[in-house]
Amino acid sequence: MAHVAGPTAALAGVPAGLQAQGVWSGRRQLFVRFAAEAETATMYTADALANELRRSVSRSAYHSISISGRDPLANVDYLCAVFAKPPVDLPVMLDTDGQRPEAIPPLEKFVGLTQVTLDGTSFEASTERGLKTLHAAAEAGMQHALVLAPNEQTSDAQLLRIVEQARGVSGATMIVIHPPHGVPVDRDRRWMTLLERAAGLHNDVRFALRLPPPTGMR
């Protein structure tokens, strides 16, 4: 009987690197990166990716696996096929923009941490569905985190409103606020004041600098 190929996906490789942001920032990870339109992509079957992950873990030490890149939850059936293979003994983190909350439940057996990253350029458009993704992750029993990456135009009121909303979704939400690159945080008390106010709304809010590329990856 002919072998039936499993699902495939276009990946921008399976690189090793340091997580740039969020609750596992600085951790050495294997990145399953779904390719953006402008990136060079390689087609991986589910079998090929599972084998690549096992090979990489046998050769070096990693904290975890990060599923990231362009719209990873558009490939939820593929991810389920990959991680249903004989497992790699590492935690799995999903880094997503939060726009596909309906894709979270099928991954509950495989993903330990769902990290929803909201960018300051799209807070207004993406917050509602991002919070729904947080809720779905909480309901699935996953650890869940919200990463806020404001830009220079983002107001403190916007950030505090999102922190309060995330607390309403789940008291176990881990929230990380990253200031924009290049902001002189050592000379700007705005961030200390913001963190103090945010901590009054939710007991797990962290302030951290992102690791810039190429050291930091996501």
- The rounded mean pLDDT for the chain is 93
Name the 3-class secondary structure at 153: coil
Q: What is the pTM of this model?
A: 0.91
**What pLDDT shows up at residue 121?**
78
- On the question of pLDDT at 144 being above 80, the answer is yes
Render 80-124 in DSSP notation, one character per residue. HHHHTSSPPSS-EEEEE-S--GGGSGGGTTT-SEEEEEEEGGGHH
**What pLDDT shows up at residue 38?**
78
Please tell me which residue, 2 or 82, carries the higher pLDDT value: 82
> What is the CATH topology of the domain spanning 8-210?
TIM Barrel (3.20.20)
pLDDT category of residue 2 using cuts at 50, 70 and 90: very low
- Average pLDDT, integer, range 102-128: 93
- Average pLDDT, integer, range 128-156: 95
**What pLDDT shows up at residue 184?**
83
| Model pLDDT for residues 52-106, shown as the tens digit of each residue | 999 999 999 999 999 999 899 999 999 999 999 887 899 999 999 999 999 999 9
pLDDT category of residue 37 using cuts at 50, 70 and 90: confident
- On the question of pLDDT at 1 being above 50, the answer is no
Q: 132, 177, 179: which is closest to 152 by C-alpha?
A: 179
| Model pLDDT for residues 191-207, shown as the tens digit of each residue | 999 999 999 999 999 99
**What pLDDT shows up at residue 125?**
84
Q: 53, 58, 59, 65: which is closest to 24 by C-alpha?
A: 65
- Average pLDDT, integer, range 172-176: 98
- On the question of pLDDT at 5 being above 60, the answer is no
72 DSSP 8-state letter: G
84 DSSP 8-state letter: T
- Average pLDDT, integer, range 123-131: 91
